[in-house]
Chains A and B, each alone.
Chain A
């Protein structure tokens, strides 16, 4: 199992370092730069929906996840990040209490 973790660590590090180690020599095409400026919202939207849809994290369909995300979305429209996280964590505790 140690070997498995080691290989996974090397593989994931390689993915992370792929463009950074040669960043001083690598000239990124302009079209890439423009496209990658959309990476943050696209990846965040994808991560969120992968949790809701159950892509590797939870069982699907997941009503509890939808309710917790709904509460967090509502909170984020009015509150800053710290408070949104706080409200969301309370929602998880309440959902856990109702479920359990």
Chain B
């Protein structure tokens, strides 16, 4: 056993003894409002799946395997348009490329984690889990507490996600046409934005990223989302300098 591994194991034991499952409870608590908003999105997705070429087992499996409403919706839309499986796959991957950003941003928090968690935990990166961790978990959190929070905030969301997709697939055709359930995503993002823009740098990043994405919305395969995000990050990095008084970076 390497010295680093032994130290990590000792840390884990100490964390487990000193920390009752409060970090797990914190994750569960933070996941509640997110789950509430995810439920109608899952229903809308399930309803869309039920009338698409992905109807059936493959469409349902995509829920827990992709864990990405945007990619799932995009695949369905591409197939419905008749663009073919290759185009659907490429669209889903390009639209999900923001996961690279999340992966890079979360890497420092996973550095001290055991290997199994780095492999398993990676699958649980979704927009909401990234935001919750970035907002609520300090960078110097102990590995064991981070793991408990990570599972606490992600597993309930996945359970709700899969359950509501299933319900949506079952009752989809009976949902009223005027109900825009997918807009719950916009509400969720808006409520999450509130705490992300308390600092000036956050407001600049959100405004520039949002404006760039709006302007670039016509780019093919949903690439405007990734390009807009990168523009927001890069521009904020140049505009906001930590040495300027009154500016938090």
Contact = CB atoms under 8 A, between A and B. Distances in A.
A46 B213 contact: yes
Given A35-B237, A96-B179, A1 B58 contact: yes
Interface in A16-33: 16-21, 23-24, 26, 28, 31-33
Interface stretch (B18-26, B164-172, B181-189): B181-189
Contacts of B74: 56
Contact of A53 (B65, B67, B192, B213): B213
Contacts of A34: 237, 242, 249
A46 B226 CA distance: 8
A17 B103 contact: yes
Given A28-B108, A57-B70, A73 B130 contact: no
B160 interface: no
A5 B176 contact: no
A11 B89 contact: yes
Overall SS of chain B's interface: helix
Contacts of A24: 111-113, 115, 118
Nearest to B112: A24
Nearest to A10: B65
Contact of B180 (A23, A40, A96): A96
Given A8-B92, A36-B105, A81-B33, A44 B217 contact: no
Nearest to A6: B65
A23 B102 CA distance: 13
Contact of A41 (B73, B183, B196, B222): B196
Given A15-B99, A35-B233, A56-B70, A84 B194 contact: yes
Contacts of B178: 95-100
Given A35-B237, A43-B127, A68-B186, A8 B106 contact: no
A5 B62 contact: yes
